[in-house]
Structure 1
Amino acid sequence: MKTAVSLLLDAKDIVGESIVWSGEEKALYWVDIVGWRIHRLEPSNGRHDVWPTPDFVTSIGMRADGGFIVGLRRTVCLWRPGGAFEEFAVPEPNLPDNRLNEGRVAPDGAFWVSTMQSNLHPDGSPKDMDRNAGAIYRIDADGRVAQLTPNAYGITNTMAWTQDGRFFFADTLANEIYLFDCDVATGALANRRTLGAGFPRGFPDGSCLDAQDRLWNCRVAGGAAVVGFDTDGDLVGLVELPAGWPTSCSFGGPDLSTLYVTSARFTMPADHLDAHPLEGGLFAVEGVGRGLPEPKFGACAQNPSVSEKA
């Protein structure tokens, strides 16, 4: 596999995450969790817009009726650029020590979010974790929240649905990627198996699927790479990056053949950043494969069969 990597934007994100491609706008959207901001970039002409957020912003997805669904620290909101963040759902109202992390629109139009014990103080500095408290939730178009897993995961990352009804998920702290059988319309998950356990390049962060259902996984915390796995857990590719903490990726561009990758500079000392100035940048990778269009929130199946949580 021959690939080419380039810096697309020297974003200097503290924790860049949750990148998505809008085909209609020919633009990328992503968040900087600790920077409290949402980015928009048009790769073809370099136009770059940034909007502040009222709290840590953890994820973003497109809505079918325009605008976005956004995960903040505790709440899921509806938002249009330049407008207010309108509270839509609160997945864990009774777990104040947890925060949201990964979030993505599923193929049926529901919004899935995951939680974790918060690793951030209010000022954005790192906070120690002492338990696995994260879970996965499904939010439908009416705002109903269904809990899909127990609160048993450390740092929850990666959400990707194969075309034949399987679901990828990851626990960064465990250095494990999981594959479930998945009924997307209800959110029911079964038959969890572990892929890529202990892979020696960093730890699993965000991911996306290509059109062949291969998972491209960002290896954070020193991994400096995006790694490709098939659904058997076999390695299908490795892309070296000039940033140690890649965090999230998405296929985009006119034919969905460019892999866009966010990164982080969280907790990095000044001397490291002086020596590695591209940390926190946005990168473009050519030659990996092609993706599929990103689903949009707003066409959720009703009456999930899993137990609901207010």
Structure 2
Amino acid sequence: MRPLPETPLSPPLPPAAAAAVETGAVRCVLAPGNALGEGVLWSVREQVVYWVDILQRELHRWDPATQAHQRWAFAEEISALGERAHAPGFIVTLRRGFALFDPAADAAPRYLYQPEPERTGNRFNDGKCDAQGRFWGGSMDFACQEPTGALYSYTPAGACTRHDDGFAVTNGPAWAPTAQGPAMFFNDTAQGATYRYRWDPVAGTVRDKTLWKRWPAADGVPDGMTTDADGRLWIAHWGGGCVTCHDADTAHELARIPLPASQVTNCAFGGADLRTLYITSARTGLSPGQLAAEPLAGALFAVDTAARGLPAPLFGG
């Protein structure tokens, strides 16, 4: 599949139309020294946080009520996950595609579909479920250089669709209502760009790809992201040491959360009221001097916000 062509972006609404969002102080929840923390997910039914360490091939679970921390080791990279609606456990993306894994079953994950066997230098990266129960995931070049990554969806019925192509590093997606209708946002991390697509939630398709924001070098590059209940986007910045909040129509910045780690990778709302933003980070690629200056690189962080998140959709509806 050829990459979707870009279409001209409509004139943005005035930035003054959106109000700033208040956030509290950042706290370190846990410092497990993740090489590449990612895929953070708040489980509403368990009231715990899950996330992955892609490069160390681990799934982590932290219970804020008991402070208990668990981890599961995998034979290959695990990069993202979504809870299943009608069965225990998760749909996950492993190195080569979509699989099922139940932490309570004491069994290896079971592959469902591997969509790109010919792209041997690729692995999967970020992903999440949409509100209709499909799981979306992006692949990428393991070396983060060649534009061999693509955007996929996988349905509970077992249908896999490649929606866009030509990315070196993929992150997202996230969904939000806009003045032009429902939209899906997706990060071309290697190019420092966030794209917006027109989103058909019934058909599960995207079209009319537009450049939503080109990020300045001082902000690093856009990594994982989430949406709050008011449709604002919260975006982690790899190399930028922060999470920012934006109006979905204008891309106007509404909040900025500095982190004591430069490589900020993903974020998700959690807690009983879904007002706590959980944030992952990474240590990989940092020099000894940088690691000494960033002792919390690779930690899981949390910050209370005035925003309220949405429950993470379940695979299967």
What TM-score, normalized to structure 1?
0.90
Give the letter for the 1:78 counterpart: L
Could you say which residue in structure 1 is the equivalent of 2:83?
62
Q: Tell me if structure 2 keeps the 8 A contact 1:259–1:288.
A: no
Query: Structure 2: which amino acid aligns with 1:74?
Result: R
Per-residue CA deviation, residues 209-241 of structure 1 (Å, 9 max, x unaligned), is: 1111111000002x1100111112111111111
Cα distance between partner residues in 2 of 1:57 and 1:107:
22
2:245 corresponds, among 221, 228, 232, to 228
Following TM superposition, the consecutive aligned residue runs of length 4 or more in structure 1 with deviations greater than 6 angstroms are: none
Structure with the larger strand share? 2
Q: Distance in 2 between matches of 1:35 and 1:236?
A: 34
Consecutive unaligned residues in structure 2, runs of 5 or more: 1-21
Q: Which residue of 1 aligns with 2:163?
A: 148
Q: Aligned residue for 1:273?
A: 291
Alpha-carbon RMSD across the aligned residues, in angstroms, is 1.3
Q: CA–CA distance in 2 between the matches of 1:98 and 1:110?
A: 22
Match of 2:70 among 8, 33, 49: 49
Match of 2:231 among 192, 205, 213: 213
Question: Counterpart of 2:214 in 1: which secondary structure?
Answer: coil
Aligned residue in 1 for 2:126: 102
Matches of 1:181 and 1:2, distance apart in 2:
30
Contact 1:60 1:69 in 2 (8 A): yes
Other structure's SS at 1:4 match: coil
Amino acid of the structure 2 residue aligned with 1:189: V
Stretch moving more, 230-239 or 93-102: 93-102
Partner amino acid, structure 1, of 2:223: D
Equivalent residues in 2 for 1:104-183 (5 A)? 104-119=128-143, 129=145, 131-149=146-164, 151-163=165-177, 165-183=182-200
Opposite residue 212 of structure 2, the aligned amino acid is L
Partner of 1:305: none
Shift of 1:2: 4.2
CA distance in 2, matches of 1:144, 1:94: 19
The AA in structure 1 aligned to 2:241 is A
What is the CA distance between 1:271 and its match in structure 2?
Answer: 2.6
2:53 paired with 1:23:
no
1:165-221 Cα shifts (integer Å, max 9, x gaps): 210101111111111111123232112222231233111000001111111000002
Equivalent residue for 1:86, pick from 110, 115, 120: 110
1:31-59: CA deviation from partner (whole Å, max 9, x where unpaired): 00001100001112211110001101111
Contact residue 55 and residue 77 of structure 2 kept, 8 A: yes
Structure-1 separation of matches of 2:305 and 2:134 = 31
TM-score relative to the length of structure 2: 0.88
SS of 1:38's partner is strand
Aligned residues: 288
Secondary structure at 2:266 match in 1: strand
Q: Secondary structure at the match of 1:135?
A: strand
What's the counterpart of residue 308 of structure 1? Answer: none
User: Which deviates the most, 51-60 or 178-187?
Assistant: 178-187
Judge which range, 93-102 or 212-221, deviates more. 93-102
Aligned to 2:279: 261
Percent identity over paired residues: 35
2:140–2:170 Cα contact (<8 Å) kept:
yes
- Equivalent residues of 2:265, 2:281 under 8 A apart: yes
2:141, 2:237 → 1: CA distance? 21
Give the gaps of 5 or more residues in structure 1: 120-127, 300-310
Q: Distance in 2 between matches of 1:2 and 1:154?
A: 33
Kept in 1: contact 2:176–2:227 (CA 8 A): yes
Conserved? CA contact 1:107–1:161, under 8 Å: no
Structure-1 separation of matches of 2:176 and 2:293: 39
Distance 2:60 2:109 in 1: 15
In 1: Cα distance, 2:168 partner to 2:252 partner: 24
Tell me if structure 1 keeps the 8 A contact 2:23–2:255.
no
SS at match of 2:166: coil
Q: Which amino acid aligns with 1:213?
A: G
Give the secondary structure class of the aligned counterpart of 1:162.
strand
Paired position in structure 2 for 1:32: 53
Q: How far does the alpha carbon of each residue in 1:26-85 deviate from its partner, in whole angstroms, 9 at most, with x for none?
A: 101110000110000111221111000110111111111221011111131101003220
Amino acid at match of 2:207: A
Aligned equivalents of 1:4, 1:275: Cα separation in 2: 20
Shift of 1:158: 1.6
**Deviation at residue 288 of structure 1 after TM alignment:** 4.6
